[in-house]
Structure formats: C-alpha cells, structure tokens
Amino acid sequence: MRKPKIVILGAGYGGMMTALNLQKKLGVNEAEVTLVNKNDYHYESTWLHEVSAGTIHHDRARFKITNTINTNKTKFVQDTVTDIKLEEQRVILENGELEYDYLVVALGYESETFGIKGLKEHAFSIANINSARLIREHIDFVFATYNNEPEKRDELLTMVVGGAGFTGIEFVAELANRVPQLCKEYDIPREKVRVICVEAAPTALPGFDPELVEYAVTQLERKGVEFKIGTAIKECTEEGIIVAKDDQIEEIKAGTVVWAAGVRGSYLIEKAGIENMRARVKVDPQLRAPGLDNVFVVGDCSLVINPEIDRPYPPTAQVAMQQGPTCAHNISVLVRGQGELQEFKPDLKGTVCSLGHDDAIGMVFGKKLFGTSASFMKKVIDNRSLFMQGGAGLVMKKGKFNFF
Ligand code: FAD
Ligand code: NAD
C-alpha cells in the first residue's frame, strides 16, 4: 500500500517540533515524512540579536538538523521552496519538487517594512543567520573605516535601530554592551559612538508592564542608548533616516540602520494564494488553513486568535514550539483515520526580554522579574529550547551557562 506523504516546509521552531513529534507518533511504515529547509542547519532565531551585535558567534546559534532528527524516520532535504501548488499537492523547490498528501507550512518570518521608502535598500534586518552576520560585519567595517578616512565622519559611528519592540530592545542592549569593545578594538573614543532607538508608539515595549519598561529604558540609557519615543521612521536613505515626531521632521545621519520594527509571514503564503493577513494564515483550531483540510500552518506563518481579547497571539517561538505537538498529533490522526483531532490552545508562561547577557526583564507566571533573576530565567528558556530539539547533548554543546 502507498504510504501517505507528509512534507514539512521549514526547520525553524515550528517545523522542528512538528518533525520531532511526528517521529514519536508514526512508525516508518505508516507515512513518508520529509523535512525541507534552505540550509542544513536550524538556527535559534531568538538568539539572532546577539549574533547581529557580535556578542555571540553565529555557530553558537545554529546546529545541524540531521544531528537531532532521526533520519531513518524523517528524510531531510536541503533546498529552497519556491512555490506551493495547492491544487496539484506539489511543492516546487529550487532543485526539484515534492508531492504531498499532508503539508505543514513552517517557513517563519520576514521583515515587514510597511512600504517605508528606502528601508529595503538601505536598512539591515535581523531575519536569519546570514542577515545577522551581515550586520555584525557591517558594524566592524564602519568602525574600521572611521580612522582610515582623511576626514573623520562621526556619523559613521551612529547606529540607528528602528522599533523598540522586544527585538529592538534586545538588540540595542547587545549593541550597548559591544560598543566599549569595538571602541577599544578600533581606537575610537566612546563619546563618538551613538546608539539610537526610534519608536513610533508613545512608549518603548508598547503593551508591556510599565514598571519593567521603565527599568529597561533606564538601564539602557545608563549604557548610552538614546531613545526617540513617539517618533516614527518615515524614510531611510544612503545617509541615514528621516523621522517625524508630531509635525517635526528630522534627519539622523547614520552609518548603520537596523530595521527591527515588525515581522510578517513568508511571501510563499501569498504566492500560493492561501487566504492571509500580512502573509500569516488565520488557521482553524486544528491549525489548518481555511478550506484546506490537508494543509497545516505553524509558527510565524500562522495567526491564532486569542479569544480572551479577540486579537492574534504575538508571533513567538513559544507559540511555534507548542504548535508542533498539536500539528503532529492531528496529522497522525488523519493518517491513521482514527482518534480525535486536537484543538491548539497555547499555554503561555510569560515573556522574558534580555538586556544583554547579564540583565533582563520579564513577566513569568504573572510575576515581575528584573536583573539577575530575569537574566537567569532567559538562559533557562534558551537552554530549554535546545533541550526540546536536541536533548541534553545539544544543551551541553550550545547552551548558555554564564548565569551570573
Ligand atoms: P523560523 O524560526 O523563522 O524558521 C523558519 C525556517 O524556515 C528557517 O530555518 C528558514 O531557513 C526556513 N525557510 C524560510 N524560507 C524558506 C524557503 N523558501 N525554503 C526553505 N526553507 C525556508 N520569541 C519568543 O518566544 N521568545 C524570544 O525570546 C524571542 N526572541 C526573539 C529574538 C529575535 C532577535 C527575533 C528576531 C525573534 C524572537 N522571537 C522570540 C520570535 C521567534 O524567533 C519567532 O516567533 C520564531 O522564530 C518563529 O518560528 P518559526 O518556526 O515560525 O520560524
Ligand atoms: P513588534 O511588532 O513586536 O515591535 C515593533 C515595534 O516597532 C513596535 O513597538 C512598533 O510600534 C514599532 N514601529 C513600527 N513602525 C515604526 C516606525 N515606522 N518607526 C518607529 N517604530 C516603529 O516586532 P518585534 O519586536 O520584531 O517582535 C516580533 C515578534 O517576536 C513579537 O511577537 C515579539 O513578541 C517576538 N519577540 C519576542 C522576544 C522575547 O520574548 N524576548 C524577543 C524578540 C521578539
């Protein structure tokens, strides 16, 4: 008898957790499972602010996919998905194609620039390992350039970060820690360097606990970060950015602009013609795309409504990792034709935002955490992610143990 073909697109948190759970649920004779990913490694997206600032090496934030999945049960294909043909139940890859009976779309996030002029051309984004490495290399390059030009251009040493959401805050915190090292390395006085975080909303970390936000902003300002709150980036140019606060327009010249002010799902969702909002699919309670009973969507490509506030849950690794087991369960029920489909109900434990390797803020199980205890918790969360994907061995290899 022909085995049903299950194809998982993307080996981020959602894809990895689906694949690892399917391995436990289904025997080799029950289905043919294929995991497709652009690279042969999984990267911890939640560590990319550190890679971008250069406070950790990029290899620390990635591991080989075939070291953690069971290749006897899951076939791994390293390739780039270029299209999904829903009617024909086929996925087009750069170097071939795959047929499926059940599809899991777990292609993650892309930067959302909201059509702001010049951002795509002139700003960096923290989107994957390679874009993070580019930011790190660029920062090193501008610092190295500074003393080698006949006329010193101080604006080269200005770094602007768009957005004071969790990504923007975590990234400026890493930058603030890296700046003293960079200054030493490239013989540059610290006062020449500016790190500016621009946020359109009336506060940093909009919606988060105000006491924790104040703690974060104060700590970062102490390390030299400048905040421009209630100020929107309107344009990005070769020279820097144009911002607006009320009716005031200002140009900020900068050598580095990093856009961390929003995410969307994969462009492939739109290309495939799946109903979406900013490339995110409002899935049914079983995590399926509307009207497509054999197409599951997990992670940042999915949109799950929180019924308590009738708004989507924020796209997080926490949600993506929890969707994996539900998605795997539901596919195994459909493959076997027996059992009950499960509804996805996120069990959110809280949020912890790092402020460099030694400081953080968090709201965990409804309790506020600051400083060392929050930072400890963040490392526990980071290590737990590794544990869930690769067990204790992976934690020992890549984990974070510099607790204090
Ligand atoms: P991703 O992790 O984005 O993985 C997608 C995978 O698909 C990647 O392996 C990619 O290479 C692959 N892929 C993409 N396109 C293709 C293609 N065309 N063909 C083949 N493969 C492809 N969330 C939290 O809960 N806690 C945190 O502390 C946290 N910190 C964060 C810090 C930063 C700096 C950022 C940027 C985000 C953070 N998030 C955090 C959010 C979290 O990273 C995302 O919600 C999460 O990564 C989504 O997981 P995913 O599985 O949907 O996709
Ligand atoms: P976000 O959408 O959460 O925040 C973007 C910020 O940019 C917002 O504060 C918004 O007001 C601001 N902004 C938008 N347009 C702007 C403009 N033109 N000028 C200036 N500011 C502008 O995006 P994010 O921070 O990248 O987070 C994406 C997802 O990842 C979220 O769900 C977040 O919770 C998650 N995340 C979680 C953590 C954590 O838990 N530690 C860390 C990073 C990201």
Over the stretch 52-111, which tens digit does the pLDDT of each residue have?
Answer: 999 999 999 999 999 999 999 999 999 999 999 999 999 999 999 999 999 999 999 999
Per-position b or e across 224-258, b if 16+ CB within 10 A of its CB:
bbebbbebbbebbeeebbbbeeeeeeeebebbbbb
Q: Are strands 302-303 and 281-282 parallel, antiparallel or unpaired?
A: parallel
Domain with CATH 3.50.50.100 in the chain: 5-111+263-348
Closest C-alpha to 283, from 339, 342, 334, 347: 342
CATH architecture of 119-259: 3-Layer(bba) Sandwich (3.50)
Q: Which of 32, 44, 110, 170 is catalytic?
A: 170
Average model confidence (pLDDT) across the chain: 97
pTM passes above 0.90? yes
Long-range residue pairs from 147-154, CB within 8 A, at least 24 positions apart, any chain: 147/186, 147/187, 147/188, 153/255, 154/192
Per-residue pLDDT, averaged over 12-38, amounts to 97
CB count within 10 Å of CB 314 equals 15
Over the stretch 223-277, which tens digit does the pLDDT of each residue have?
Answer: 999 999 999 999 999 999 999 999 999 999 999 999 999 999 999 999 999 999 9
Q: How confident is the model at residue 404 (pLDDT cuts 50, 70, 90)?
A: low
Per-residue pLDDT, averaged over 337-352, amounts to 96
- Show the ligand 1 pocket: residues with CB < 6 angstroms: 10-15, 36-39, 42, 45-46, 48-49, 80-81, 106-109, 126, 128, 167, 170, 266, 268, 299-300, 315-318, 320
Amino acid at 294: N
Per-residue pLDDT, averaged over 276-305, amounts to 97
Q: What is the pLDDT of residue 2?
A: 86
Q: Is the confidence at residue 1, as pLDDT, over 80? A: no
CA of 316 to the centre of ligand 1 (A): 8
- Give me 204's structure tokens: 């940093």
Closest C-alpha to 264, from 212, 315, 309, 211: 315
Q: What is the pLDDT of residue 236?
A: 98
Domain with CATH 3.50.50.60 in the chain: 119-259
**Smallest-distance ligand from the CA of 319:** 1
Q: How confident is the model at residue 402 (pLDDT cuts 50, 70, 90)?
A: confident
Residue carrying structure tokens 């912890």: 352
**Smallest-distance ligand from the CA of 91:** 1
CA distance 112 to 276: 15
Residue 221 falls in the annotated catalytic set = no
Side-chain-side CA neighbours of 149 within 13 Å: the count stands at 13
Q: What is the pLDDT of residue 144?
A: 98
CA of 380 to the centre of ligand 1 (A): 19
| CATH number for the domain whose boundaries are 5-111+263-348 | 3.50.50.100
